[in-house]
Amino acid sequence: MNLRLSLKNGQWKRHLLLLVSSVVMMYPVFWWVGASLKTNSEMGSPSLFPSVPQWSNYISGWTAIPNYSFTHFYMSTFELVFGVVLLTLVSCSLVAFGFARLDFPLKNIWFALVLVTLMLPSQVTLVPQYVMFNAFGWVDTYLPFWVPSSLGVGVGGSFFIFLLVQFIRGIPRELDESAKIDGCSYFGIYWRIVLPLTKPALVTVGIYAFLWNWDDFFGHLIYINSIDKYTVQLALRLFMDTQSAMEWGQMLAMSLISILPAVIIFLFAQRHFVEGIASTGIKG
């Protein structure tokens, strides 16, 4: 009904422009899907989809790495990423609660320093971090990802703290006072009052943390050396074998599957994600 009304009001040009723009922007995805079904000899073909789809690329690609399947790489990736997400949610929410609700010396200065780190490129801290983690014996383990996340200084930590602080500041302080009268401690206020009301922002932080760490090829490449600990992103790199012909169809098929977890999580949590970004707390 709304579409018909829009067309009658002369907005069909806008709808047509949006449709054409969507097709243009989605063309690389269509090519990606089509190329994952092609053989090596068909990769240079101008046709978008092959005449005979090679669905076997998905089956062969899954076990193309000698001695390993992508099931192993997915389990390793989920182990790393879910650990990072859980630790990030706990640490960043605790730090944000402290900045939003507690009073302590130099509070504004410390919060300003947290915000300053948002403007600090990760490449600046890469070398000293690697030297330090290597001295600790953490290289080729997941500790370089888990330990910073547990301290709120992992990938995107400063942004997550800022986002949660802004959200918690919108929660009425009267709830804290009521909880104190009932004998609730500061941790009790955090756990029983603030944390449940911060669910939309926590979901947003969780989605961001998952996506950024799932796609973090460079960080995984720096700290993970053993194939047994490889993530999906590093496993895709193993298709680039200089000793034999590269199977482009299999690699593209596996890379297409690699984005499905991120897409599924975003689609299922989209409502909470938008709410967490748009909301600034409890109104009224």
Angle, CA 237 vertex, CA 80 and CA 63 arms, to 5°? 80
Q: Which percentage of the chain shows pLDDT scores above 90?
A: 50
Q: Taking 60 as the threshold, does the pLDDT of residue 280 lie above it?
A: no
The answer to whether residues 118 and 159 touch, using CB atoms and an 8 Å cutoff, is: yes
- Residue 164 and residue 226: Cα distance in Å, rounded? 36
Q: Taking 70 as the threshold, does the pLDDT of residue 191 lie above it?
A: yes
Mean pLDDT value of segment 221-250? 86
Confidence at 281, pLDDT banded by 50, 70, 90: very low
For the domain made up of 70-278, the CATH class stated in words is: mainly alpha
Mean pLDDT value of segment 190-200? 90
Please give the residue that has the higher pLDDT: either 138 or 41: 138
Q: Which amino acid is at 272?
A: H
Mean pLDDT value of segment 28-37? 91
Buried b (16+ CB within 10 A) or exposed e, 116-136: eeeeeeeeeeeeebeeebeee
Please report the pLDDT score of residue 71 as a whole number: 94
Q: How far apart are the first and last CA of the chain?
A: 34
Residue extents of the structural domains in the chain:
70-278
Mean pLDDT value of segment 83-95? 95
Write down the pTM of the prediction: 0.86
Mean pLDDT value of segment 103-125? 88
Q: 61 is written with which tokens?
A: 């690609």
Place of tokens 């014996």: 137
